Amino acid sequence: MPATTTGFIGIGNMGLGMALRLRDLGFAVGVRDIDPAREAAAAAHGASVHASAAALARHCDVVVVAVVDAAQCEAVLFGADGAAAVLAGGSCVMLCPTLSPASTAGFAERLHALGLDCIDAPMSGGPARARDGSMSLMVACPDPVYERHRQLVEALSSKVFRVGTRAGDGARTKLVNNLLAAINLAGAAEALALAERVGLDPARTLDVIAQSSGQSWIGSDRMPRALAGDLVPRAHTTLLAKDTGLAIGMAVDAGYDAVLGRVAAAAFDSACRAGCGALDDACLLQRARDRPALP
């Protein structure tokens, strides 16, 4: 078992799966989360629980940040009781949230100024795949940093994609991926709502789509539970609303008009404004069903 503790700050749906994955493989794991229930779940599997990000970081040479957004990253790394100030020189921070490229590069620069390495490593695939190690990691960092932490990164994921050495390239790749995921999910919801509107059995139609050219991973993952009325959040609607907003911002910065992306972003934004932000993003099916009929 590795001698040093790997710390996880943020053990929500993805972070907890990642932490438990490492415990399964014999790693010493420490955790910090604002939700005591999440900490208790990790502790039940042998993880150590710490009272703050700083308290956790004192025991680690790698800290995996798996919070929601840039503001939370700022708080847990550089705020009061943040991890960055107490990590030993040469330690590493792995950034796994979906962030803007500018935020990721900014965090990496500030960490480097403190003598710390940074791995830009956004994740994709959902909690079950985080737990079994089959999620995707989009990794950008200098080659020597990757080699120092290869064992950890490859323990977390069997699908590691080295997308570059520049901090922010992981973020860019994740935003492109999530924009397409949002387009696919919005499209799958609309297609099934149309199937129902023209009198087709939606479950049977989904079976056809799953074996045909309309199939998408996210549609196949979300639509069965949407049809069952199961909107317990595995991925809150707010997340793709945030991610599509970041992706459209990146597109604007690049001078590119992401037409379908803007439509998908509007669908997620509308769902959040309608009070669906805390629901699973499979709620887009009901949103599509509720669309008024043409006159």
Cα 168 from Cα 134, distance rounded (Å): 23
Among residues 21, 148, 174, 287, the one annotated as catalytic is: 174
In this structure, what token pair is assigned to residue 295? 């006159």
From the list 86, 104, 81, the residue with the least C-alpha distance to 94 is 104
Q: How far apart are CA 58 and CA 187, in angstroms?
A: 46
Sign, CA torsion 36/40/41/42: positive
Take residue 18 and report the two structure tokens written for it: 């990642």
**Residues present in the chain in total:** 295
Q: What share of the chain is helix, strand, coil (3-state, %, to 5)?
A: 55, 15, 35
In the three-class reduction of DSSP (H, G, I as helix; E, B as strand; rest coil), residue 118 is classed as: strand
Q: Which residues pair with 140 in a beta bridge?
A: 120, 164
Q: Is 242 a catalytic residue?
A: no
Alpha-carbon gap, residue 293 to 271, rounded angstroms = 18
Q: Which strand (E) or helix (H) includes residue 92?
A: strand 92-95
| Distance from C-alpha of 47 to C-alpha of 70, rounded to nearest angstrom | 26
What the block records as the tokens of 80 is 């009061």
Three-class DSSP category at 144: helix
Task: Give me the active site residues, please.
Answer: 174
